Amino acid sequence: MVEFLYVTAAILLLLTGLGLARMLWGPSPADRMMAAQLVGTGGGAIALLIATASGTTAIIDIALVLALLAAFAAVALSLGEPGTKQQDGSPNS
């Protein structure tokens, strides 16, 4: 069971890393924020799997922090200063 959970965590890490390609490609800031949200949920799931596999329940707190940071990142995107972002993904002035 422990091996299964570790292998699952490794596959999930691979999937989350592949999702980061969307952060590289863009094209809009919303797409990049979606890749960051994927790191939030995927990283949280990886932390929970490792916490259960290793029996270290403190790792559950890491999943909490990742979920919280992903939520704050989305709020920060939507509250950004007006006029500093473009939808076409061109660099901010």
Window 13 to 52, contacts with other proteins (CB under 8 A): 15-16, 18-19, 21-22, 28-31, 33-35, 37-38, 40-42, 44-45, 48-49, 51-52
Whole-number Å distance between alpha carbons of 23 and 64: 23
Q: Look at the chain and count its residues.
A: 93
Alpha-carbon torsion 35, 36, 40, 46, what sign?
A: positive
- Tell me if 74 sits within 8 A of 39, measured CB to CB: no
Smallest separation, CB 20 to other proteins (Å): 10
Smallest separation, CB 60 to other proteins (Å): 5
Whole-number Å distance between alpha carbons of 75 and 39: 16
Which residues of the shown chain bind other proteins in the complex (CB under 8 A)?
1, 4-5, 8, 11-12, 15-16, 18-19, 21-22, 28-31, 33-35, 37-38, 40-42, 44-45, 48-49, 51-52, 55, 57, 60, 63-64, 67-68, 70-71, 74-75, 77-83, 85-87
